[in-house]
A and B are shown apart, each in its own frame.
Chain A
């Protein structure tokens, strides 16, 4: 039976520590623990499932079916995870993973330490920043946060405008509409040329027709509802001085303005890099997905031998491939720790590896179709904010560049861009791409921030009580009421991001 640990005592050394309990982390844990490995899974949410299956077994909605079949599918994997022997430490913030296999995490305001022979990073994806004029204003949120509010608390915003591109955007709009929430408009920034370009990948897409049909179905659902849809929009801006007052954009040269208090932006997802970067793993720039990815081999093993990266944190693959990848990573690590022979791992991984290869065809089509346009990734307007924490604009960065900040870390020291609490999560990709343009060099040569511990804010008081000699363990379990409040806390945190 699965051991769900909250504040209960846990061992302090494991064969495999898995960070993240989404599809990748859960399936890695199921596979590894079934083979006899001592596995611990650490996750920041009170329930397993990750972002995609958030609260799948405890939805606040009367009819969770509005969230779609893909969401409901998550209950199978969360159930299997609960049956596994893996230990699950939930509701914790992992704030440090060392290059020596040391894991430090906050559990109810106390820092705890464990060590592991192998580590699987399965921290998933985050939404791609959308650095357009006004994106920092109150009233502007990411479409993902709209979904977090919906899945966690059943909260919605009436009369909002959704703008951007990508399947998740259409899915959330559809989920809103199914609940009878009014959506003022969907402003689709997918450019015409993407439809043309993605046609060359269409044989790939057809190798996964079910998923393609699903996507078209969502768009039809939105159109049929009578929601105003603007297609091929560009020059997107959020209007307003102190708070969002509306959006403006152009469609084939004609400008439009829509008045609204709430704007949800989305232009796809990118790997959540903070942990893989803080670990100092080797990364490369992916031209197809326009994001940094940790460099891994067929088994998900990174440049640091004992660390593997699974799921969307290794590059956007989607939930089903993430689960497959979690299993493959686990098999690789089982070989590393001597619990499985290499030939057996090769045999057992074959189906998943084949599945992932097939999915990659479809992914190429999706990446091509929903590739966000340059002006929405690399802001041109001098006054557009790039770094929200330190309020640094394109103009500030240009100045820093002129003063010798040619590389992200120099630019950070020069301008404070990326020095705030989000540790560059919201500006890192923008800075890499802008510098590459300004230097006229590939993004790979420009690089990224050196990330520092802690990966989540830790209070001075919590740190002051930390000792790695003898972990302090409170012998009381957290009851479910407390978990619920904890849950609200975590969704608020997501919103704040």
Chain B
């Protein structure tokens, strides 16, 4: 016999989405328990590239991302912690005329929707902001509010702030079974039992398994986006840098190390919590970095790694209520760009639980958006 742990809400997954959800719920006086199968921030939330990016967002995400960005700029104060957030601006570099054309049509679309945070740069403006950019680069686009944060510290900051407000985090608790009895969700782990009225699925690369237990099918996949970081090098770039049409993304931290990403995927072994790297793809990432920034030729790679991340076929997350069960909610499959949304997603989840709705249009993120209506 084991005593059952009761709370108003149960969150499954101790990444940034789960920790932020716990924080926002606790802040509103909702008792909440977070079940994390490993340790908080162990997977994608702890080892991602830390990009805090509004630039180039899918239109469906712009409102959420704008709201999140506003929160990032005050997050250290709000959580009374150091998330490592630095507003450094983000520049996507255009390598040729085709890139510039793509930027122009994006600008037209954004302006048409009333969004003006993405500003195009000509060749000279680009050079002023990025003196070490390669000669062949013809321009770019900048978002001034963007920057980076330290993912592990950010997620921990939400966790600690949530705990201060009474949330409970249980690590090493892998969910084995979920049942709905009356109005209660009953969740079992290997040794413990939990009961709550509301259930939130923030299980990242394992969220499809939790969805099925809740009663929602979802065509989610998972993969292992790869990163590498260099040893310290002389300061050469303040803004975070991306490329319009190439898989390239890097940022130089204050200590001089350069984190290089770009979304290339390694091989995920979800059952064993591990990944394997694809070195030839990392090689092409290295090639891109040098092509855009020749100064990086002599940079020494210190570590390469990847984390386990969930993806949807359209690379948009699942955010919202379960379509099959009452009082169950999802926030997962952020497809390698969910870190920046973390602060606002917790708020959205808390709104759905406390108010029954969100001020954001969540239709594009419905879990059943791939269900075929007619055969």
Decide: B300 and A421 in contact? CB cutoff 8 A: yes
Closest to B296 in A: A460
For A410, A413, A468, which residue has the most chain B Cβ atoms within 10 angstroms? A413
Contacts of B297 in A (CB 8 A): 459-461
Q: Which of A134-142, A304-312, A449-457 lines the interface with chain B?
A: A449-457
Known contacts A414-B152, A466-B283, A100 near B276 by CB under 8 Å: yes
| Count of residues in A whose CB is under 8 Å from the partner chain | 32
**Least CB distance, B171 to chain A, in whole angstroms:** 10
**Least CB distance, B86 to chain A, in whole angstroms:** 16
B156 on interface, CB distance cutoff 8 Å:
yes
B58 on interface, CB distance cutoff 8 Å:
no
Contacts of A403 in B (CB 8 A): 156, 160
Cβ < 8 Å to A, chain B residues 263-308: 274, 276-277, 279-280, 282-284, 286-287, 289-290, 296-305
- The A interface, classified by DSSP as helix, strand, loop or mixed, is loop
Known contacts A410-B39, A413-B152, A421-B300, A460 near B279 by CB under 8 Å: no
Q: A468-B279, A468-B280 are in contact. List 9 more A-B contacts (CB 8 A).
A: A280-B274, A414-B152, A414-B156, A452-B303, A458-B300, A460-B289, A461-B286, A466-B280, A469-B280
Contacts of B289 in A (CB 8 A): 460, 464
For B41, B160, B304, which residue has the most chain A Cβ atoms within 10 angstroms? B304
As a 0/1 sequence over residues 334 to 371 of chain B, the CB contacts with chain A under 8 angstroms (1 = contact) are 00000000000000000000000000000000000000
From A96, A104, A404, A419, give the contact of B156 (CB < 8 A). A404
Decide: B279 and A96 in contact? CB cutoff 8 A: yes
Contacts of B305 in A (CB 8 A): 452-453
Contacts of B279 in A (CB 8 A): 96, 104, 111, 463, 466, 468
Contacts of B282 in A (CB 8 A): 463
B46 on interface, CB distance cutoff 8 Å:
yes
Cβ < 8 Å to B, chain A residues 417-463: 419-421, 423, 452-454, 457-461, 463
B230 on interface, CB distance cutoff 8 Å:
yes
Decide: B276 and A413 in contact? CB cutoff 8 A: no
Known contacts A403-B156, A459-B297, A464 near B277 by CB under 8 Å: no
Bound-state Cα–Cα, A386 to B289, Å: 33
For B276, B299, B303, B305, which residue has the most chain A Cβ atoms within 10 angstroms? B303
Decide: A98 and B276 in contact? CB cutoff 8 A: yes
From B276, B286, B302, give the contact of A457 (CB < 8 A). B302
Contacts of A457 in B (CB 8 A): 231, 300-302
Bound-state Cα–Cα, A464 to B279, Å: 10
Decide: A467 and B280 in contact? CB cutoff 8 A: yes
As a 0/1 sequence over residues 317 to 347 of chain A, the CB contacts with chain B under 8 angstroms (1 = contact) are 0000000000000000000000000000000
Decide: A452 and B286 in contact? CB cutoff 8 A: no
A465 on interface, CB distance cutoff 8 Å:
yes
From B46, B230, B276, give the contact of A460 (CB < 8 A). B230
Decide: A421 and B286 in contact? CB cutoff 8 A: no
Bound-state Cα–Cα, A249 to B56, Å: 61
Decide: B290 and A461 in contact? CB cutoff 8 A: yes
A99 on interface, CB distance cutoff 8 Å:
yes
**Least CB distance, A140 to chain B, in whole angstroms:** 22
A407 on interface, CB distance cutoff 8 Å:
yes
Closest to B291 in A: A464
As a 0/1 sequence over residues 113 to 146 of chain A, the CB contacts with chain B under 8 angstroms (1 = contact) are 0000000000000000000000000000000000
Bound-state Cα–Cα, A136 to B290, Å: 34
Closest to B280 in A: A468
Contacts of A420 in B (CB 8 A): 231, 302
Contacts of B286 in A (CB 8 A): 460-461, 463-464
Decide: B152 and A452 in contact? CB cutoff 8 A: no
Decide: B283 and A463 in contact? CB cutoff 8 A: yes
**Least CB distance, A317 to chain B, in whole angstroms:** 30
7 pairs from A and B in contact (CB 8 Å cutoff): A413-B41, A423-B302, A453-B305, A460-B297, A461-B290, A464-B284, A467-B280
Residues of B at the A interface (CB closer than 8 Å) are: 39, 41, 46, 152-153, 156, 160, 230-231, 260, 274, 276-277, 279-280, 282-284, 286-287, 289-290, 296-305
Contacts of A452 in B (CB 8 A): 303-305
Bound-state Cα–Cα, A447 to B293, Å: 39
Bound-state Cα–Cα, A467 to B274, Å: 24
Residues of A at the B interface (CB closer than 8 Å) are: 96, 98-100, 104, 111, 280, 403-404, 407, 410, 413-414, 419-421, 423, 452-454, 457-461, 463-469
**Least CB distance, B289 to chain A, in whole angstroms:** 6
Bound-state Cα–Cα, A410 to B172, Å: 14
Bound-state Cα–Cα, A466 to B287, Å: 9
Bound-state Cα–Cα, A467 to B287, Å: 11
Decide: A453 and B303 in contact? CB cutoff 8 A: yes
Decide: A467 and B283 in contact? CB cutoff 8 A: yes
Known contacts A404-B156, A466-B283, A459 near B304 by CB under 8 Å: no
**Least CB distance, A181 to chain B, in whole angstroms:** 35
Decide: B302 and A421 in contact? CB cutoff 8 A: yes
Decide: A459 and B283 in contact? CB cutoff 8 A: no
The 7 residue pairs across chains A and B that have the minimum distance between CB atoms: A464-B286, A464-B287, A413-B152, A457-B300, A452-B303, A463-B286, A466-B283
Closest to B257 in A: A419
Bound-state Cα–Cα, A419 to B253, Å: 14
From A407, A453, A460, A468, give the contact of B290 (CB < 8 A). A460
Contacts of A423 in B (CB 8 A): 302-303
Contacts of B277 in A (CB 8 A): 453
Bound-state Cα–Cα, A468 to B284, Å: 12
**Least CB distance, A399 to chain B, in whole angstroms:** 12
Contacts of B298 in A (CB 8 A): 459-461
For A104, A410, A413, A463, which residue has the most chain B Cβ atoms within 10 angstroms? A463
Known contacts A410-B39, A413-B41, A452-B304, A460 near B299 by CB under 8 Å: yes
Decide: A460 and B280 in contact? CB cutoff 8 A: no
Known contacts A410-B39, A421-B231, A458 near B301 by CB under 8 Å: yes
Decide: A99 and B301 in contact? CB cutoff 8 A: no
Decide: B46 and A413 in contact? CB cutoff 8 A: yes
**Least CB distance, A103 to chain B, in whole angstroms:** 11
**Least CB distance, B309 to chain A, in whole angstroms:** 17
**Least CB distance, A465 to chain B, in whole angstroms:** 7
Bound-state Cα–Cα, A407 to B171, Å: 13
**Least CB distance, A68 to chain B, in whole angstroms:** 37
For B39, B284, B286, which residue has the most chain A Cβ atoms within 10 angstroms? B286
Known contacts A104-B279, A453-B277, A468-B279, A463 near B152 by CB under 8 Å: no
Decide: B290 and A464 in contact? CB cutoff 8 A: yes
**Least CB distance, A20 to chain B, in whole angstroms:** 22
Contacts of B303 in A (CB 8 A): 419, 423, 452-454
**Least CB distance, B275 to chain A, in whole angstroms:** 11
Bound-state Cα–Cα, A486 to B229, Å: 27
Contacts of B152 in A (CB 8 A): 413-414
**Least CB distance, A280 to chain B, in whole angstroms:** 7
Bound-state Cα–Cα, A464 to B282, Å: 8
Bound-state Cα–Cα, A81 to B297, Å: 38
Decide: A454 and B280 in contact? CB cutoff 8 A: no
Bound-state Cα–Cα, A414 to B298, Å: 29
Bound-state Cα–Cα, A276 to B293, Å: 35
Bound-state Cα–Cα, A413 to B39, Å: 12
From A100, A407, A453, give the contact of B39 (CB < 8 A). A407
Decide: A460 and B156 in contact? CB cutoff 8 A: no
For B282, B296, B301, which residue has the most chain A Cβ atoms within 10 angstroms? B301
